[in-house]
Amino acid sequence: MSVIVRFAPSPTGKLHVGNVRTALLNYLFVREQGGSFILRIDDTDLERSTNAYEDGIKTDLEWLGINWDATFNQSHRFKLYEDAANKLKAEGLLYPCYETSEELDRQRKLQRVQGKPPVYNRGALELTADAVKSLEDEGRKPHWRFKLSGKSVTWLDVVRGEQTIDTSSISDPVLIRADGSFLYTLPSVVDDIDARITHVIRGEDHVTNSGAQIEIFKALSDHVPNFAHTPLLVGSDGKGLSKRLGSLSMDQLREQGFEPLAVTSLLSKIGTSDPIEARPSLSVLVSEFSFSKIGRAPARFDENELSLINARLLHDTDFADVKDRIEALGVTDGEALWNLVRSNVEKLSDIAGWSTVINAPMPGQIANEDAEFCQIAAECLPNTLTADTWSIWTKSLKESTGRKGKTLFLPLRLALTGRSQGPQMGGVLVLLGAERAKARLMGQTG
């Protein structure tokens, strides 16, 4: 049986790390299995869904390297959902309810006071024809609930093992709103049946929903997919990410200079038994994927960890792989500079700063107590610089001035680069050239 999965974002907002992780787990699993990945756009909320968000979702997935084999929009399939609803109505499994949200809220509060679970009491099933007519004469329009069996639903979850939901402990789910619009559940089940989805991979907050959805699957067809419910994503402090998701959207991370492989490396490994390290390609992540590696604890997303992975990834990146992007930053001496500074960059854009350090006219940064030493250093610097000049030159300065360690090297680094840390100074010296280096050592613009 060919594996088929789907990722189903709603185009009502931007993709963030939480839903990207879901997309990624679906993608890694299906590519490892050699199956098909479907991008389903859940745009039944016509008021809030926009083409701009849909385009943004596709752009973000493409940036991450997550491609799809087929795609469709739910807004083009309302006839299918209406047919499914009519089938359930004809079988007495979808029934009209007339309670207002205020009445339902009072019902739940009363149940809590009485020590009962806040489960819908199915009062609508007891309404007489006259009572229904009276409510409709008031202008009320029904919402429609699916009638659960009240029995236990059991399935073997790919991540969590055997799961059982007692459907008598949950409310009959609303499938159609009073305005006639569909909630998520019915269109999702209909589409999963129609596309023959074999595995529904999503967060563990949907476990209870799955109990109800399995009954809807069985009411509409003989097709029930496998389910895999993964631990939720939390911040490094163990708290939810909901208040910070705006700053963790893909377009924000992209604008901040993060590499797509850094994002996918982190999101695919947190919460698993694999080490959290940069991987060289998505194909490596695919080859390493297994549901058996996913733990039960929440997966912790740490932005500092993302930065470290991003830096490590760049440190191992050849110039040819970033040449076009470096040139787009206006850096002209790209290859020599990249080979010199790549172990010191956290994001690719950092190379622009190092290009400025090397090429832009600037005075040396020299403390008063180091002025005489830097003057001597300038006089001793040869006019022809090679890869060996730094070590020979500093050894000579050590012998002539008595300086050593930090008091020898730091003033020279500050005078030449204006920074206290950075790449190997031998390479910096060669790129600066003797004229510019001497000028900076003498406190002049060079």
**Hey, do 1-74+231-316 and 80-176 end up sharing a CATH topology, with the first three levels equal?**
no
Backbone angle region of 414, left / alpha / beta, with phi > 0 → left and psi within -120 to 50 → alpha:
alpha
- pLDDT tens, residue by residue, 196-242: 999 999 999 999 999 999 999 999 999 999 999 999 999 888 887 76
- pLDDT tens, residue by residue, 382-418: 999 999 999 999 999 999 999 999 999 999 999 999 9
Residue 243's pLDDT is: 55
State the Cα–Cα distance between residues 18 and 192, nearest whole angstrom.
22
Between the alpha carbon of residue 181 and those of residues 80, 303, 424, the distances in Å are 13, 39, 64
Specify which residues 166 forms β-bridges with: 152
Question: In the predicted model, what is the mean pLDDT of residues 316-330?
Answer: 94
CA 171 to chain centre: 32
CATH superfamily, domain 80-176, is Glutamyl-tRNA Synthetase; Domain 3 (3.90.800.10)
- H-helix or E-strand spanning residue 147: none
Residue 244's pLDDT is: 61
CB 291 within 8 A of CB 228: yes
Alpha helices in 148-206 (DSSP H): 185-194
- H-helix or E-strand spanning residue 349: none
Residue 263's pLDDT is: 97
- pLDDT tens, residue by residue, 50-66: 999 999 999 999 999 99
Q: Within a 13 Å sphere around the CA of 425, how many CA atoms are in the beta-carbon half?
A: 21
Question: In the predicted model, what is the mean pLDDT of residues 259-280?
Answer: 97
For residue 11, pLDDT over 70 is answered with yes
Residue 236's pLDDT is: 84
Identity of the residue numbered 130: D
Residue 237's pLDDT is: 83
State the Cα–Cα distance between residues 423 and 413, nearest whole angstrom.
10
Question: In the predicted model, what is the mean pLDDT of residues 16-23?
Answer: 95
Question: In the predicted model, what is the mean pLDDT of residues 305-317?
Answer: 96
76 burial level (CB within 10 Å; 0-12, 13-18, 19+):
exposed
State the Cα–Cα distance between residues 257 and 313, nearest whole angstrom.
13
Dihedral in degrees, nearest 10, Cα atoms 276, 280, 286, 287: -90
Question: In the predicted model, what is the mean pLDDT of residues 74-88?
Answer: 98
Structure tokens at 293: 């590696």
- pLDDT tens, residue by residue, 124-167: 999 999 999 999 999 999 999 999 999 999 999 999 999 999 99
Backbone angle region of 352, left / alpha / beta, with phi > 0 → left and psi within -120 to 50 → alpha:
alpha
Question: In the predicted model, what is the mean pLDDT of residues 162-189?
Answer: 97
For residue 245, pLDDT over 70 is answered with no
Which class in CATH covers the domain with range 368-441? mainly alpha
Structure tokens at 9: 């974002």
Select 1-74+231-316's CATH number: 3.60.110.10, 3.30.450.20, 3.40.50.620, 1.10.40.30: 3.40.50.620
β pairing state of 36-41 and 4-7: parallel
Alpha helices in 93-159 (DSSP H): 101-113, 129-137
Note the maximum CA span of the chain.
108
pLDDT category at 192 given cuts 50, 70, 90 is very high
Residue 22's pLDDT is: 96
For residue 247, pLDDT over 80 is answered with no
Residue with tokens 């008021």: 47
Residue 320's pLDDT is: 95
Dihedral sign from CA coordinates of 276, 280, 286, 288: negative
Domain range summary for the chain, segments of one domain joined by +: 1-74+231-316, 80-176, 319-359, 368-441
State the Cα–Cα distance between residues 39 and 68, nearest whole angstrom.
6
Phi, psi of 40 (to 5 degrees): -105, 125
Identity of the residue numbered 251: D
β pairing state of 161-166 and 174-176: unpaired
pLDDT category at 95 given cuts 50, 70, 90 is very high
State the Cα–Cα distance between residues 266 and 21, nearest whole angstrom.
9
CB 39 within 8 A of CB 61: yes
State the Cα–Cα distance between residues 367 and 364, nearest whole angstrom.
10
Residue 86's pLDDT is: 98
100 burial level (CB within 10 Å; 0-12, 13-18, 19+):
exposed
User: How many CB atoms are located within 10 Å of the residue 9 CB?
Assistant: 24
Nearest to residue 140, comparing CAs of 91, 102, 191, 88?
102
Question: In the predicted model, what is the mean pLDDT of residues 290-307?
Answer: 95
For the range 294-298, what are the long-range contacts, defined as Cβ-Cβ under 8 Å and sequence gap of 24 or more?
A: 294/159, 294/230, 294/231, 295/231, 295/271, 296/160, 296/231, 297/231, 297/271, 298/231, 298/232, 298/233, 298/234, 298/238, 298/271
Count helices and strands (H / E) in the chain: 19, 12
Q: What percent of the chain has pLDDT over 70?
A: 99
CA 313 to chain centre: 17
Average pLDDT across the chain, whole number: 95
Residue 241's pLDDT is: 75
- pLDDT tens, residue by residue, 345-387: 999 999 999 999 999 999 889 999 999 999 999 999 999 999 9
Q: What percent of the chain has pLDDT over 90?
A: 93
Whether the full predicted model's pTM is greater than 0.85, yes or no, is yes
